[in-house]
């Protein structure tokens, strides 16, 4: 499996490609990593150094890959933290170029905009770009609850509202694709206080996965779960099975991270969780 992954990179710690690439590689996928930014560390620290790359660099790197003649073997494009809306256009050009080479390739858009605690944490223009330009091209989308609300303009306080918002999001995704959605960090009126949920949707079906809520707040888990969900959806063809595999692995990763008291997710030390999750959680139709 070959995945063109266009997102951020950090020198220290694990977000963006620095969170997504290794789990994919550990599972046996080749990752063609193109970085949208190179930061010292993730922005959740409040301070960081580095650069947002120009859209031209992203375009140039994708063209270089294309010149190797390998795009027909690209199974999917994965995008995440974009840095800048102009980079977003370069990403959509890459998606279009990959689709010409391989009409079966899927585009998975992790619409990184913000989260419940921090609000919007990306540059102005990016939220609108995700809504108006990226999601309409996406075959898969992996918003967290905050991003689902932002993208659809709907409040999500119950499971029924979550399903309605996901259906609204799906109706705006690429019609020729599977319109597969994974909502992360879902907490509704029906969610027990000690739990956190995932909601997967495809083909009119909805499935929920409930895992224990851990006493931590980390960055990069969303980037890892998007990558794993894409990998397992490609492998199994099933959104529910992909959510079970990805959700179980991320729970194991974060349980180990919480036990270690680490501010950064233990992507390397807990790598066995990507291959054989310590606990397997089951999805239920909802």
Ligand X SMILES: Cc1ncc(COP(=O)(O)O)c(C=O)c1O
Q: Which residues of this protein are in contact with ligand ADP, per CB under 6 A? A: 115, 144, 184-185, 196, 198, 211, 213-214, 216, 221-222, 225, 247, 250-251, 254
- Euclidean distance between the first and the last CA atom of the chain, given in angstroms as a whole number: 31
Query: Pick from 202, 211, 279, 272: which is nearest to 242 by CA?
Result: 202
Reduce the DSSP state of residue 136 to 3 states and report it. helix
Phi, psi of 11 (to 5 degrees): -70, -45
Nearest-approach distance from CB 104 to ligand X, in angstroms: 27
Nearest-approach distance from CB 97 to ligand ADP, in angstroms: 27
Binding status of residue 222 toward Mg ion by CB under 5 A: yes
Residue 35 or 142 having the CB closest to ligand ADP:
142
Query: Pick from 109, 76, 106, 75: which is nearest to 176 by CA?
Result: 106
Alpha-carbon span 74 to 99, nearest angstrom: 9
Residue 48 or 172 having the CB closest to ligand X:
48
Angle at 254 between CA 249 and CA 259, to 5 degrees: 130
Residue 29 or 141 having the CB closest to Mg ion:
141
8 is in an annotated binding site: yes
Q: Is 212 in contact with 195 (CB distance < 8 Å)?
A: yes
In angstroms, the Cα distances linking 57 to 87, 93, 112 are: 9, 13, 21
In angstroms, the Cα distances linking 101 to 30, 73, 264 are: 18, 8, 37
147 is in an annotated binding site: yes
Taking CB within 5 to 8 Å according to partner kind, which of ligand ADP, ligand X, Mg ion, none is near residue 98?
none
Chosen residue from 88, 222, 247, 252 binding ligand X by CB under 6 A: 222
Nearest-approach distance from CB 104 to ligand ADP, in angstroms: 27
Applying CB under 5 A, which part among 32-40, 166-174, 222-230, 267-275 lies near Mg ion?
Answer: 222-230
C-alpha 15: how far from chain center: 11
Restricting to residues 61-90, name those near ligand X by CB under 6 A: 81
Applying CB under 6 A, which part among 64-72, 201-209, 218-226, 272-280 lies near ligand X?
Answer: 218-226
Binding status of residue 220 toward ligand X by CB under 6 A: yes
Nearest-approach distance from CB 183 to ligand ADP, in angstroms: 8
Query: What residue ranges in the chain does DSSP mark as E strands?
Result: 2-10, 30-39, 50-52, 76-79, 106-109, 114-115, 119-120, 140-141, 180-186, 195-202, 205-212, 284-285
Restricting to residues 7-36, name those near ligand X by CB under 6 A: 8, 10, 15-16
Restricting to residues 92-131, name those near ligand X by CB under 6 A: 112
Alpha-carbon span 62 to 10, nearest angstrom: 20
- Which three-class secondary structure string do you get for 88-124? HHHHHHHHHHHHHHCCCCEEEECCCCEECCCEECCCC
Taking CB within 5 to 8 Å according to partner kind, which of ligand ADP, ligand X, Mg ion, none is near residue 135?
none
Residue nearest to ligand ADP (CB): 222
Nearest-approach distance from CB 55 to ligand X, in angstroms: 17
Binding status of residue 39 toward ligand X by CB under 6 A: yes
Please report, in range form, the residues annotated as the binding site for substrate: 8, 223
Residues that bind Mg ion (CB under 5 A): 112, 222
Please report, in range form, the residues annotated as the binding site for ATP: 110, 147
């Amino acid at each position: 499996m070959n995945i063109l992954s266009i997102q951020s990179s950090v020198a220290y710690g694990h977000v963006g490609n620095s969170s997504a690439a290794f789990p994919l590689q550990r599972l046996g996928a080749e990752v063609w990593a193109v970085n949208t930014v190179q930061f010292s560390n993730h922005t959740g620290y409040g301070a960081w150094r580095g650069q947002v790359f120009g859209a031209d660099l992203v375009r140039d790197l994708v063209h270089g890959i294309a010149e190797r003649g390998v795009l027909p073997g690209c199974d999917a494009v994965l995008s995440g933290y974009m840095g800048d809306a102009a980079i977003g256009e370069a990403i959509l050009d890459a998606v279009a170029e990959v689709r010409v080479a391989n009409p079966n390739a899927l585009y998975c858009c992790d619409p990184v905009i913000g989260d419940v605690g921090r609000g919007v944490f990306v540059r102005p223009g990016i939220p609108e770009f995700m809504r108006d330009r990226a999601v309409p091209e996406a075959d898969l989308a992996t918003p967290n609850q905050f991003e689902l609300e932002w993208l659809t303009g709907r409040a999500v306080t119950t499971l029924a509202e979550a399903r309605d918002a996901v259906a609204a999001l799906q109706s705006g995704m690429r019609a020729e694709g599977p319109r597969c959605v994974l909502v992360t960090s879902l907490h509704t009126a029906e969610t027990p206080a000690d739990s956190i949920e995932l909601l997967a949707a495809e083909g009119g079906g909805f499935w929920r996965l409930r895992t224990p809520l851990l006493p931590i707040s980390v960055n990069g888990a969303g980037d890892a779960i998007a990558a794993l969900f894409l990998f397992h959806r490609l492998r199994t063809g099933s959104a529910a099975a992909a959510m079970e595999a990805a959700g179980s692995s991320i729970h194991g990763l974060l349980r180990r991270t919480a036990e270690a008291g680490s501010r950064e997710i233990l992507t390397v030390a807990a790598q066995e969780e990507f291959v054989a999750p310590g606990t397997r959680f089951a999805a239920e139709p909802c």
